[in-house]
Structure 1
Amino acid sequence: MARIAKARAMRKAMSPPEARLWLSLRRLREQGFHFRRQHPLLGYYLDFVCLSRALVVEVDGGSHEGRAAWDRQRDAALARYGLKTLRISATSVRDNLPDVMEFILRELEAAVPTRPLRGPPPRDGEGD
């Protein structure tokens, strides 16, 4: 339960670029792309993740300086889990949000949808 409490606290303390990007990512729900923010997974907290497209969006600001090796390790762990990570600089979100959203949307559309975790199982003979 501590992970959930930490994720909730992180959602309330998003950086201005994260908050700005979140408002735009939420609008993608109309197109069928649902994002979660500060989602705990594999011991990490993902800035934003669209599980149905296995796409993680990370906003890299000043706190990521000097952490390139750690970020590579984290991205590799997420890749082994089947997730693709997009790293976007906080300045790009601040100065060029329309292009950032266009890039994210292209990646979402190119990604193969994952099988939903909920819903009925395939009928006999389907999915083989």
Structure 2
Amino acid sequence: MPNWQPRNTKRARSLRREATPAERALWEHLSRSQLGAKFSRQMPVGPYFADFLCRELKLLIELDGHSHDVAPERDVTRDQWMAENGYTVMRFTNAEAKDNIEGVVQAISAKIEDLRKT
């Protein structure tokens, strides 16, 4: 029998309310299935929270700010857990999302197409 654990929805709501400007800008492009895939914000995935998650394709989009520069080993551990559990992780910096949102959106769109082919 699987070991069921309740979701930490309180924490997820808090993360959504406290979204960075970069996360808000990217959400404008990911919401309402605009790229042909349904994304959710700040979703629990195992012991982590994904900035954006497409459950169907097991695709996580992460926007990294200053905290990721301070402890990059956390991202390595997290990405390894995600890969072991069948998730694809795409990482962009907040600066990329702010300065080149169209490029970020195009890269995500291309990854969605690629994952649909496999």
Question: Normalization by structure 2: what TM-score?
Answer: 0.89
Segments of 4+ moved more than 3 angstroms:
none
Report the aligned-residue RMSD: 1.7
| Identity rate, percent | 32
Give the whole-Å Cα distance in 1 for the aligned partners of 2:87 and 2:112.
Answer: 12
How far residue 32 of structure 1 moved from its aligned partner, in angstroms, is 3.0
Verify: 1:22 aligned to 2:27, yes or no. Answer: yes
Tell me how many residue pairs correspond in the alignment: 113
Pairs within 5 Å for 1:58-73: 58-73=62-77
Question: Aligned pair in 2 of structure 1 residues 31, 68: CA closer, same or farther (>3 Å)?
Answer: closer
Which digits, 9 at most, give the CA deviation of each residue in 1:20-49, with x for residues without a partner?
11111115x145300011001111010001
CA distance, structure 2, for counterparts of residue 15 and residue 26 of structure 1: 16
Closer/same/farther in 2, CA of residues 88 and 30 from structure 1, 3 Å limit: closer
1:6 is matched with 11
| Match of residue 94, structure 1, among 84, 91, 98 | 98
Q: What amino acid is aligned across from residue 9 of structure 2 in structure 1? A: I
- Segment drifting more, 31-40 vs 100-109: 31-40
Contact 2:42 2:51 (C-alpha < 8 Å) held by counterparts: yes
User: Which entry has the higher C-alpha Rg, 1 or 2?
Assistant: 1
Partner Cα separation in structure 1 for residue 94 and residue 12 of structure 2: 20
**Paired residue secondary structure (1:53):** coil
- In structure 2, the partner of 1:41 is 45
Deviation, structure 1 residue 68: 1.3
Cα shift at 1:7: 0.3
